A and B are shown apart, each in its own frame.
Chain A
């Protein structure tokens, strides 16, 4: 019993120290539109670690969902009403880093918080449902009226590196268009802003 208490105190001290080290590292690079207190210390949100997916999703949607205060709206990516695919449901954390835009493996930096730290490489990556951890590239190319385009959503391997790492490719293995490999159709509206038709608020479905 006593040993456990000592152990517990040690662990708590370690966590405390760890947080001290983490805080400054996390504090500087946050995107301008979010303040730390938008997510941390929110009454009803879980403790400092905010680990539960459902609670993180709820938190994001209190601002980015119906009745939320942000003008930017989103919803999770999940099966269409009539879907040809096995059930999938990808929540906010599945695609976004809550803290910052990360560098991607091609040397650029992602935008809109897409991709997060999955390992020690520090690159923006996504844990995909069927293909393990994969790189994700989502950059603004400054075309299409300032909206990200081309490589950003689905690159159709335009850079010839044999990797299909666009954000709308990197997970897909079964869809009719834009797989994360050369199979299937890669021509569907390639180079366009996919979210013009596949609205984030409709889970990217149309």
Chain B
């Protein structure tokens, strides 16, 4: 979102104003300002695979869910508004699961954007639904509650599965993102640690690995420390972790924890990353998609999920 990127927009606005001035109401309301942004990403946060050929994106400032084309990531196919600030998002069996930070709930929508029901009962039950992951075959939804600092587990239809709820309580410091390794039945959770610098001894930034029963299996901190770890994805023995401050996606070896590669670099230029917040990998093409928050774009790293 450099000033320069506003020049074409402004030119367009001036032209549009010139042509349509007489048709516009004299004063636009604040609400209209918001609505006009619905065809354009403003502050993309979390990503999820959607129906075929589509990626789902939550937009924190536009207060909307966008559906963008996997082949042309700049193309918004459809969007629908959320009443609040959406963060986590997931897709399973024709339903879209959206973490609404304002209402403190995971809301379930159909693809047309109609709200169906809420997970776990009353709004306010998931304080900060920062990220969501789903194992559709086992019918499980995993939700990061950033404020209660634990992972909540729900069934697809809504009930909280108390037997395995509350994963990570006590060991998670500031949990942010979540991904699943469905073959190994593992839950990976990124954690800022203490908000001070990432090497802080009180609690460094980490990726925690739990099994589906909530037992902690491992902790990964990379060969260099993470800075501000955000959303993550798993692909064939590698963890792809978006780091908001570094402006990179770190590719980590699942077993050794070493950083084996990186995607992208910090910057405000085309293709550079400023505050990347989530990663999705297409399992067949190995294309990697990243939300580039400040640039208000989805970046595509073709074949980036193929580690040499």
Q: CB distance B196 to A67 under 8 Å?
A: no
CB distance from B203 to the nearest CB of A (A): 12
> CA A62 – CA B60 in complex, angstroms?
14
Q: CB distance A89 to B1 under 8 Å?
A: yes
> CA A67 – CA B294 in complex, angstroms?
13
Across the interface, A62 reaches (CB within 8 A) one of B13, B28, B228, namely: B228
Nearest-neighbor residue (CB-CB) of B6 within chain A: A87
> CA A42 – CA B204 in complex, angstroms?
11
B168 at the interface (CB under 8 A from A): no
A4 at the interface (CB under 8 A from B): no
The segment out of A20-28, A52-60, A152-160 that lies at the interface is: A52-60
Given contacts A42-B245, A58-B244, A82-B36, contact A87 B7 (CB under 8 A): yes
**What residues of chain A have their CB less than 8 Å away from a CB belonging to chain B?**
35, 37-38, 40-45, 54-55, 57-59, 61-63, 65-67, 69-70, 73, 75-76, 78-84, 86-89, 176, 197-198, 201-203, 205-206
CB distance from B24 to the nearest CB of A (A): 9
Q: CB distance B247 to A44 under 8 Å?
A: yes
- Residues 70-87 of chain B: 1 if any A CB is under 8 Å from the residue's CB, otherwise 0? 000000000000000101
Within 8 A of A (CB), among B197-216: 197-200
Given contacts A38-B195, A69-B174, contact A82 B33 (CB under 8 A): yes
> CA A44 – CA B34 in complex, angstroms?
33
B91 at the interface (CB under 8 A from A): no
Q: CB distance A43 to B226 under 8 Å?
A: yes
Q: Which residues of A contact B266 (CB under 8 A)?
A: 44, 55, 58
The segment out of B37-45, B110-118, B158-166 that lies at the interface is: B37-45
Q: CB distance A69 to B146 under 8 Å?
A: yes
Q: CB distance B227 to A42 under 8 Å?
A: yes
Across the interface, B293 reaches (CB within 8 A) one of A45, A65, A78, namely: A65
- Residues 244-280 of chain B: 1 if any A CB is under 8 Å from the residue's CB, otherwise 0? 1111000000000000000000111000001101000
Other contacts beyond A42-B245, A65-B43, A79-B6: 20, CB < 8 A: A38-B197, A43-B227, A44-B228, A44-B246, A45-B227, A45-B245, A54-B268, A57-B294, A58-B275, A62-B245, A66-B87, A67-B244, A69-B146, A70-B195, A78-B1, A82-B13, A82-B28, A88-B3, A198-B30, A202-B34
**What residues of chain B have their CB less than 8 Å away from a CB belonging to chain A?**
1-3, 6-7, 9-10, 13, 16-17, 27-28, 30-31, 33-34, 36-37, 40, 43, 45-46, 60-61, 85, 87, 130-131, 146, 174, 176-177, 192, 195-200, 224-228, 230-231, 243-247, 266-268, 274-275, 277, 293-294
CB distance from A179 to the nearest CB of B (A): 17
CB distance from A197 to the nearest CB of B (A): 6
> CA A76 – CA B60 in complex, angstroms?
14
> CA A46 – CA B268 in complex, angstroms?
15
The 8 closest A-B pairs by CB, nearest first: A206-B30, A37-B196, A66-B60, A44-B246, A41-B197, A43-B227, A44-B227, A62-B228
Nearest-neighbor residue (CB-CB) of A76 within chain B: B1
Nearest-neighbor residue (CB-CB) of A46 within chain B: B266
Can you spell out 30 A-B residue pairs with CB atoms less than 8 angstroms apart? A37-B196, A38-B196, A41-B197, A41-B199, A42-B227, A44-B227, A44-B228, A44-B266, A54-B274, A58-B245, A58-B274, A58-B294, A61-B244, A61-B293, A62-B244, A62-B245, A63-B195, A65-B293, A66-B85, A67-B277, A69-B192, A70-B195, A75-B43, A81-B37, A81-B40, A82-B13, A83-B13, A89-B3, A205-B33, A206-B34
> CA A70 – CA B195 in complex, angstroms?
9
Q: CB distance B10 to A87 under 8 Å?
A: yes
Q: CB distance A37 to B13 under 8 Å?
A: no
Q: Which residues of A contact B33 (CB under 8 A)?
A: 80-82, 205-206
Q: CB distance B196 to A35 under 8 Å?
A: yes
Q: CB distance A206 to B275 under 8 Å?
A: no
> CA A62 – CA B275 in complex, angstroms?
7
CB distance from A47 to the nearest CB of B (A): 13
Q: CB distance B17 to A42 under 8 Å?
A: no
Given contacts A54-B274, A67-B45, A206-B31, contact A78 B6 (CB under 8 A): yes
Given contacts A43-B225, A82-B13, A86-B10, contact A67 B36 (CB under 8 A): no
Nearest-neighbor residue (CB-CB) of A39 within chain B: B197
